[in-house]
Structure 1
Amino acid sequence: MRKYPIGLQDFGNLRKEGFLYIDKTRLIYNLIDLGKYYFLSRPRRFGKSLLLSTIKEIFNGKKELFEGLWIYDQWNWEQRHPVIHLRFSQIDYKGLGLTAAISRELDFLAAEFGIQLREEDSLALKFRELIREVAKIGHVVILIDEYDKPITDYLEDIEMVEENRSVFKNFYSVLKDADEYIRLLLITGVSRFTKVSIFSDLNNLYDISLNPHYAALTGVTQEEMETSFAKEIVLLQQKQPDILGKLKEWYNGYSWDGTTRVYNPFSLLSYMGSGRIQNFWYQTGTPTWLVNLMKKQKVFDLENIHMGENALSNFNIEHLSPVPVLFQTGYLTIKNYNEETRLFELGYPNREVEESLTDALLSAYRNVFPGNDSMELTFDLANAMKNNDMSQMVKVLDVLLSTIPYDHRKAESESIFHIIVHLSFKRLGMDVRSEVHSASGRCDVLVFTKKYIYALELKLNGTAQAALNQIINKGYLHSYQLDPRKKIAIGINFSSGKRAVEEFLVEEFA
């Protein structure tokens, strides 16, 4: 058994205690050698804190910690720089308020350098004084971790968001005129929304979040995974020959340039520590407000989304748009980038995220919490689809739909049924598409399996015959006539009075 740094964020402790470290020092060297002011956005549990801790030890000249790593004989270890390391996850902004919490943290940091800051100064003046006094030792390295946490923790409290944002804007304004004192500034967080509203004065801040050169700065590439875990893989393959494919399906797939793909480091390390494929990352803190936001705006189909960089970077507190939030928080990733249109194609990064988020959405729409029955029901649905058992499929959909609250059924007409049916198939990892356009209309739901293509039309308080006729008359399956798979049209009518599937009709095509 090796020691895996699951949740470990301190580079010095990691190296001294003999934990596994996946060498990122070549990329780090390029980062600190080629520039000065950086901003990096990555999802939670993706190695941002460890990255900053590693940079801190480089500038502290702790050469012994880097023995065996790429940078060991590439760096001038005699040239040291003082490091101001601000970690917003560790300050008590909830108990003290943001201003008081930052002020206290600045005092702690100053004490590390033997500096006494003036208590009567404003927050900005204290920060400026700290930078200038520390710079007497040498050009300062400023590392700011989770800069946005005091804002993202209050996304359901706009007044608190605005208050903390105002504090931050004043606090960070000091950095604009501190160029002569700074060797390196690196700010990390999850969101990119405050880059404009908080760092508007800091116009030389280089956002490398989508820069292809730093796409693998955090996360674990396939090559790194197979090299770092070579011994484990040999043992795992003896029990499960296809384990590499399984791990890739479940935990790989994150990309910030559309080309380089990385594993979620927390999930990969957690798997290596347990030897069991399961949900790791999602369980560490998916906010309820995000699922509720998706439900409120009826966002449920998260594949083949196309968006430009400006829209992708948007995180407007007053008018939150789910897709940019989902991307920045790690529930969506870049699948491809079109150089000509300059549009990014987004989708789920891997099965872990897809299955977990779909399950949470399905529970939210059905008003069933914590949704423990979803796995059992969707397993039954999978068997029905596999065996082309339409009666069983409809029975499962009937149970899934029967829990919809009355106010949803009354207010949202057919849309709520459409969404739940889509999510039910998506929960199985199936290729499911909604509102698919044809020459004469839009099919509610299309489901593709190895042997079948299913077209489903859903009616509320109508007739199954009308639903079936719509599929046939509007040629929803016509586009797939050359496909060798069997085509099946299914018309379903749901009665709001009975809260049940009232009838369904099926017609097969060769």
Structure 2
Amino acid sequence: MIKFPYGISDFHRIRTDDYLYVDRTAFIPVLEEAGRQLIFLRPRRFGKSLLLSMLANYYDVKTTGEFDTLFGNLAIGQQPTPEHNQYLILRWDFSKVSAQGDLEHIRSSLFQHINQAIKDFVRQYQAQLTFSVDIYDDDALGSFQSVVNVAKSSGYTVYLLIDEYDNFANDVLIQDTTDAARYRELLQGEGILKTLFKIIKASASEGKIARVFITGVSPIVLSDMTSGYNVATSIYLDEDFNSLCGLTENELSTLVQQTAQSCALPPTQTATVMETLQQFYNGYRFCADMTQTTVYNPTLCFYFLRHYQKKCQAPEKMLDGNLAMDAGRIRYIAALPQGSTVIDHILDEQNPAMLQELENQFGVENLREVQQDSHYMLSLLYYFGVLTIIGRNGLGKLILGIPNLVIHSLYVERLKQHALPRTQDEQWASHLAEQFYQTADLQPLADFMEHKYFAVFSNRDYCWSNELTVKTAFLTLLFNDTWYIMDSETALQRRYSDLVMIIRPSMRHYAPLKDFIFEFKYLKLDDLKLTGEQLREKSVAELEAMPPVQKALQDALVQLRQYRPVLESKYQQPERLYCLAVVALGFERVVWRLLD
């Protein structure tokens, strides 16, 4: 049985309590060569804190006697670098700093955290420190200068590890997008953070700090602090470190094989488990080099495999609560003046979002651009982990896309909340969708779409075809990753306007559930030579009898006949597969037909 370290970022505990550790120590020599002060960005829950913990244990003078236990059978254990176990480790975690209240409250929280870390440092290294450290309750910057001076005087240098350096500054920004004052006070002029990093820079240049490793999520603070700290090397877009955090395909495949053995799964079922993980958790690329493999979200993979190992079946919910904050990041972007247009564009598979290059430093002077310029918004979404690099176009522009289905669900949920803000409407829509999964009768949902949904979608500033708009509207009502995989593009080689709903392998034992393929068509009111009011007065039978509607239905049915054999062959249950042609008449009426 594998002890998956779900939610555990303590390297020492993982290694001494026999938890799984996916070896990243081979990167240590490369990191040492990259620079003495490094900045590394990754989305939340990608293993940054565990990386820092591993580095702390490797370089700490206090773990010298445990080196073989901690690193002996890892890559670095065979050829350690000369710097192992040479430093005193000082760690800060800015996710523990509160962004609530005014500047003085934030300053107080930051100083309390720094001072507490220094007190822990002094207790940890009391045998190494030959002088006492002065700790100032109202001046943690002075405390910091005192501790590095004492370490140097005692014959040691400090390795400073800063986790989530941008956390509370980002929170200040996101809490109120119109209030740049607190953010400016934190970072510009002689702001707290800027002053702090100037002291770090000076201490490093004086030989008191040997190395600095900083992690965070986005570069939104960097341009505001770089004048005070312009010596760090940014490695977060370097292809050499694409897989420094995250799981590779080979690593995950090995874990799936081990899990499958504990559940005595046949090879076909093992392959199905791997396919599910690929669809829901893979797809992240952290550099512009398209030859680099995509990586998996490790936290979600461990969440899934831990459950599978215990129950020998997949968890019902593919998204655990650890990504709730990612949904908040999407809401933040969507709430900006041009944010909803950016979110709409991201969901347009025919015309994907593109950038010449990612914005890699922006701060308070760019707030207007962040709120209005799609380049900044798309870059932020990339750093948040809800967009990734999926390719380049003919001119070398980066093509951005949603990495996987679990992130896709966050976008869809955002659209649904916007379209159905009233709880009772959302609950009724979910009830109608659940009925449809079992009956394949689309009419109740079509009626709901006509009366409740189309008014919202018709007013949106869509930059794509209306056919895709109709698909998006139905997707938001039907999306359900508990029972369904809402994508089979590879299997079908389908056109983008189709919506495919395949029952998840772990849910196929629920007999009432059905598989679905949709083909959507859109007819403009001008083409129909009718007004919206005239359409609303017609019966369904009258709508179906209209020649443009008949043609659109027949065209859709022809395409569905081409798709159906592919899925019938793949899933071997043709009796569960229902193919639906759906025609939207403006944003007024819906006509649909099942393929015989």
TM > 0.5 between the two?
yes
Q: Which residue of 1 aligns with 2:116?
A: 108
SS at match of 1:297: helix
Cα distance, 1:3 vs structure 2: 2.0
Q: Which residue of 2 aligns with 1:267?
A: 300
Distance 1:219 1:109, change over 3 A: same
| Distance in 1 between residues matched to 2:446 and 2:192, nearest whole Å | 50
Q: Which residue of 1 aligns with 2:90?
A: 84
Q: Which residue of 2 aligns with 1:250?
A: 280
Cα distance, 1:342 vs structure 2: 4.0
Q: Which residue of 2 aligns with 1:352?
A: 406
CA contact (8 A) 1:107 1:116 kept: no
Q: Percent identity?
A: 20
Distance 1:470 1:206, change over 3 A: farther
| Distance in 2 between residues matched to 1:401 and 1:231, nearest whole Å | 50
Q: Which structure has more strand as a fraction of its residues? A: 1
Cα distance, 1:45 vs structure 2: 0.9
| Distance in 2 between residues matched to 1:431 and 1:245, nearest whole Å | 11
1:291 maps onto 2:351 in alignment: no
Distance 1:420 1:456, change over 3 A: closer
SS at match of 1:191: coil
Deviations 1:113-147, CA, capped at 9 Å, x for gaps: 35433638855454344333333332321111011
Cα distance, 1:400 vs structure 2: 4.2
Deviations 1:158-190, CA, capped at 9 Å, x for gaps: 243333333212221223333242322111111
Cα distance, 1:504 vs structure 2: 4.5
Q: Which residue of 2 aligns with 1:211?
A: 238
Match of 1:307 among 355, 377, 382: 355
| Higher alpha-carbon deviation: 275-284 or 415-424 | 415-424
SS at match of 2:330: helix
Distance 1:59 1:372, change over 3 A: farther
Cα distance, 1:452 vs structure 2: 6.9
CA contact (8 A) 2:148 2:157 kept: no
Q: Which residue of 2 aligns with 1:162?
A: 184
Cα distance, 1:353 vs structure 2: 1.3
1:69 maps onto 2:74 in alignment: yes
| Distance in 1 between residues matched to 2:379 and 2:423, nearest whole Å | 26
> Which structure 2 residues correspond to residues 384-403 of structure 1 after superposition, within 5 A?
392-393=441-442, 395-400=444-449, 402-403=451-452
Runs of 5+ consecutive residues of structure 2 not aligned to the other structure: 127-131, 309-313, 480-484, 490-495, 501-515, 526-530, 536-542, 565-579
Cα distance, 1:110 vs structure 2: 3.1
Distance 1:377 1:458, change over 3 A: farther
| Distance in 1 between residues matched to 2:453 and 2:301, nearest whole Å | 37
Q: TM-score, normalised by structure 2?
A: 0.69
Give, as a single letter, the amino acid of the residue that structure 2 aligns with 1:143. L
Cα distance, 1:404 vs structure 2: 5.0
Deviations 1:311-361, CA, capped at 9 Å, x for gaps: 4765744433542222111111111246x7442211111111112331232
Runs of 5+ consecutive residues of structure 1 not aligned to the other structure: 433-444, 496-500
CA contact (8 A) 2:99 2:171 kept: no
Cα distance, 1:369 vs structure 2: 4.3
1:422 maps onto 2:430 in alignment: no
| Distance in 2 between residues matched to 1:232 and 1:369, nearest whole Å | 40
| Distance in 2 between residues matched to 1:78 and 1:507, nearest whole Å | 67
Deviations 1:349-406, CA, capped at 9 Å, x for gaps: 111111233123222222244955665555666789xx7xxxx546424424644598
| Higher alpha-carbon deviation: 364-373 or 264-273 | 364-373
1:9 maps onto 2:42 in alignment: no
| Distance in 1 between residues matched to 2:563 and 2:448, nearest whole Å | 28
Distance 1:205 1:363, change over 3 A: same
Give, as a single letter, the amino acid of the residue that structure 1 aligns with 2:111. S
Give, as a single letter, the amino acid of the residue that structure 2 aligns with 1:429. M
Deviations 1:43-91, CA, capped at 9 Å, x for gaps: 1111011111110111115313223211113214765111221111234
CA RMSD of aligned residues (A): 4.1
| Distance in 2 between residues matched to 1:327 and 1:471, nearest whole Å | 41
Distance 1:79 1:9, change over 3 A: closer
CA contact (8 A) 2:23 2:74 kept: yes
CA contact (8 A) 2:518 2:582 kept: no
Q: Which structure has more helix as a fraction of its residues? A: 2
Give, as a single letter, the amino acid of the residue that structure 1 aligns with 2:330. L
CA contact (8 A) 1:491 1:504 kept: yes
Deviations 1:264-309, CA, capped at 9 Å, x for gaps: 1111111111122421266443354632532653322424221132
Distance 1:37 1:345, change over 3 A: same
| Distance in 2 between residues matched to 1:420 and 1:170, nearest whole Å | 52
CA contact (8 A) 2:44 2:217 kept: yes
Distance 1:289 1:54, change over 3 A: closer
Deviations 1:224-277, CA, capped at 9 Å, x for gaps: 112345321334571634211111111111111243211111111111111224
Distance 1:196 1:374, change over 3 A: farther
| Distance in 2 between residues matched to 1:361 and 1:19, nearest whole Å | 39
